[in-house]
Chain A
Amino acid sequence: MRLLEYQSKRLLKKYGTPVPDGKIVANPSDAKQFMEMAKSDCMLKAQVLTAGRSKSGGIKLIKSVDEIEPALSEMLKIKFENFPVNLTLIEKAVNYKDVFKLSLFIDPVSAKPIIELTYLVSSTEEYLNKHDQSKNIETAEINPEIGLLDYQVRHLEMALEAPREMWDQFRQIARDLWKMFCELDAVYLEINPLVLSSDNHLMALNVIIEIDDYALFRQSELAGLIDYAMYSSLEIETHKAGLSFIQLDGNIGCMANGAALAMSTVDLIYRKGKSPANFLDVGACVSAERLGVGFRLLIAEKNIESMVLNYYGLSTPCDEIAMEILKAWGEIGFTKPVFVLFSGLNSKKGVEILRRKKPFKAALFSNDFSI
């Protein structure tokens, strides 16, 4: 689960890392009020989760109060990868001389936490001429039992010849970030850019925080930060039902019990030259009831003209699933064709139950089924 910039900055602040003074605004008068009090240039930033905001007009430098109204109204109209802008963040602009990127993540190969510092831009020509691009990144592997050690931070600073004025502040920020990483069950933390201001203060101008979805049960405050406005009602409903759903572009609904089975079913539909509308995994050991919830949600979607259910009877046998979807048909009375592929426990029984029941076309799983 990724947090919006302003949410991430609030957390950074809580953990002690400096961020620019700022305020969430959705209308020009709030923004003007902030700028008048700030008495400085400001940055207006769209609060969306996608990358590359500045390229698409999501980040603007505002030099006078008059610029606010047109800039804000324009920004609120932009769609970033189909996500609307509901909120913007207005901040005091910062003059800076050195730019870094600081990130914390778990290395997939070693399964260890890694802290990575990148020197992006230097104010001194000297530095840029001395070093080639590939030598401006340093990492340190953190022992999760012991935590980030000060000497590791010094290694990063020395390797990149970071300005001495920032060393103490950087050590504190690195410690804050590591603490945050652990306490919030973060899978990814990135401060980019981390700038050294003209008056030698390190400050986080933008931060990305991604929280482990599987840890939300023990992060109740963070779980409450999910912005439901970003998701479609189908995404929200399937999520509530504990199902794993991804929207695609096509018109053939797709569901299966098991992530890889569901992916494979998307592939199957694609290989037959058709267009899958979605990915939906109801879980390998799903109950008939829960599968029924997913089924009813999917069949109701307007863009879906037909559906494929690929089910392997594991803990719930195929005949129980057949009864459940038959029940759904009894309730809703849809006419869209539903292709059911059964394998595993009681697969033959399942196929029998759906035989000659329009609109179902059930068969034992095989490579050639026609949809």
Chain B
Amino acid sequence: MGNLIDQSSKIIVQGITGQMGNHITRKMLLSDIKIVGGVSPFKGGEWALEGRVPVFETVRSAINATEANISVVIVPPAYAAEAIFEAINEGISLIICITNGIPIHDLVKIKMYLRGKRCRLLGPNSPGLCIPGQISLGILPHDQIIKGNIGVVSRSSTLALQIMDYLSKNGYGVSTFIGVGDAPVLGTNIEDVLRMFEEDTETEKILLVGEKGGIQEENAAKYFSQHMTKPLVAYLAGQSGLLDPYPLQEISTCQFEKTSIKEKIISLDKAGIRVASSLDEILSLLG
């Protein structure tokens, strides 16, 4: 994953002076990563986190002063799209958007804007990414995930963490964890991460933590069957089917909720992905 991020990467936090921004940056500083600045309109020139991180007025001034090329966006939903556009425009190469609840019309514009730009967006609503022992960006605990050879990609945060906990208690470690986030439109799709894992020398097996709704897993299954050689195990939240579209969702309003969980599992099965129906089964399928 060296081309995405490594220990020499310089990181800024957009929204550092907000409550969430402050809290999350504090946690990130516990690990070895280089948080070289924060961006907060009208607060340029101040210092955040008890004088540890300089705050800049704009992404441009932050980059000029620090040479940062990665940004973690922890800005409230009303302003998050603007923060992302700014980061893309100023040449940030990797944006991790933690914010949840960005309106879908904004996401459509962001996705369109990313085309042809040398910028990768992870999220929105991404818990972050973690290379155990090296880097932990986002809301992930920096020292809880054990190093190993399993690449983990997930839409969720806490479920993935609980599963990785379970893996480590049973002797399984993680090469890299990437949280693509959970929003109707994502900057990086699950299939994009699968491609990264296929190329990553540290990853030998892959675990996909998915959930009902959307078509991320189906598209990933298609990609898997056509391009991948490494084994893939999946765990899907919502397998009981009890949460499949209920009366008010019935009309095709939610295009993103159109497939049932059963159909999703069938797509994965057909592509040769083994779907675990319990945490124990994940272990046995990983082998």
Contacts and interface: CB of A to CB of B under 8 A. Distances in A.
A310 B162 CA distance: 10
A109 B215 contact: yes
A interface majority secondary structure: mixed
Contacts of B102: 214
B238 A208 contact: no
A51 B253 CA distance: 11
A345 B253 contact: no
Contacts of A107: 255
A266 B77 contact: no
Contacts of B158: 256-258, 260-261, 284, 312, 314, 344
Given A108-B214, A263-B243, A284 B238 contact: no
A96 interface: no
Interface stretch (B9-17, B47-55, B106-114): B106-114
A260 B161 contact: no
A284 B108 contact: no
Nearest to A256: B158
B279 A367 contact: yes
B108 A144 contact: yes
A344 B242 contact: no
Contacts of B103: 185, 212, 214-215, 218
Interface string A280-316: 0000110000000000000000000000001010110
How big is the B interface, by class?
A: 35 or more
Interface in B161-195: 161-162, 165-166, 182, 184-185
A208 B250 CA distance: 12
Nearest to A347: B165
Interface string A360-371: 000001110000
Contacts of A82: 247
A284 B162 contact: no
Contacts of A128: none
Scoring B20, B23, B24, B256 by chain A CB atoms within 10 A of each residue's CB, the highest score goes to B256
A263 B141 CA distance: 22
Given A145-B109, A284-B139, A267 B238 contact: yes
Contact of B139 (A49, A145, A285): A285
A345 B165 CA distance: 11
A334 interface: no
B161 A271 contact: no
Contact of A111 (B20, B185, B242): B185
Contacts of A228: none
A345 B246 contact: no
A45 interface: no
B161 A314 contact: yes
Contacts of B215: 108-109
Contacts of B24: 315
A109 B102 CA distance: 18
A344 B248 contact: no
A119 interface: no
B237 A260 contact: yes
B227 interface: no
A315 B139 contact: yes
Given A263-B237, A365-B162, A108 B184 contact: yes
B78 A367 contact: no
Interface in A167-187: 182, 185, 187
B157 interface: yes
Given A51-B250, A260-B155, A261-B162, A214 B101 contact: yes
Given A214-B102, A343-B162, A50 B247 contact: yes
Interface in B104-155: 104-105, 107-109, 111-112, 127, 139, 141, 144, 154-155
B82 to A, nearest CB: 13
Contact of B104 (A49, A106, A284, A345): A106
11 contacts: A50-B250, A108-B215, A108-B258, A187-B253, A214-B101, A258-B157, A259-B211, A260-B211, A279-B243, A284-B158, A314-B157
Interface of B: 20, 23-24, 27, 77-78, 101-105, 107-109, 111-112, 127, 139, 141, 144, 154-162, 165-166, 182, 184-185, 209, 211-212, 214-215, 219, 237-240, 242-243, 246-248, 250-256, 258, 277-280
Given A108-B185, A261-B237, A365-B165, 10 more contacts: A105-B255, A109-B219, A113-B108, A143-B112, A185-B104, A246-B246, A266-B240, A344-B141, A344-B158, A365-B162
